[in-house]
Amino acid sequence: MKFATDFDGVILDFKTMLIKGIKKRTNINVSKYMKGIMVHHPNIDEQTIRKLVKEILLEDTLSAKPIKATIKTLEKIYKLYNEPIIIVTNRSEDLRKVTEEWLDQNVSNKFEWEIRYGSGKIYDSKVEYLKDANWYLDDILEQLVSVCSLPNIRRCFWYNQDVYDMSNVDKKIIKVSNINSVYDIIR
Q: What is the CB neighbour count within 10 angstroms for residue 129?
A: 19
Tell me if 138 sits within 8 A of 147, measured CB to CB: yes
Whether 48 and 120 map to the same domain: the answer is no
pLDDT of residue 122: 65
- 144: domain range? 3-13+66-186
For residue 21, how many C-alpha atoms fall within 13 Å in the half-sphere facing its CB?
A: 24
- Digit-by-digit pLDDT tens for the chain (187 residues) are 899 999 999 999 999 999 999 999 999 999 998 877 778 888 999 899 999 999 999 999 999 999 999 999 999 999 999 999 999 998 988 999 999 999 999 999 999 999 998 876 666 678 888 999 999 999 888 888 888 889 999 999 998 655 555 666 777 888 888 888 999 999 8
Whether 29 and 89 map to the same domain: the answer is no
pLDDT of residue 35: 76
Whether 161 and 70 map to the same domain: the answer is yes
CATH number at residue 117: 3.40.50.1000
pLDDT of residue 13: 95
Q: Which residues contact 117 (CB under 8 A, 6 or more apart)?
A: 89, 90, 91, 92, 93, 96
Whether 75 and 95 map to the same domain: the answer is yes
CA-based nearest residue to 11, from 115, 131, 166: 115
DSSP state of 61: G
Of 23, 44, 63, the domain-final residue: 63
Whether 46 and 135 map to the same domain: the answer is no
Structurally, the chain folds into a number of domains equal to: 2
pLDDT of residue 40: 85
pLDDT of residue 93: 87
Whether 107 and 57 map to the same domain: the answer is no
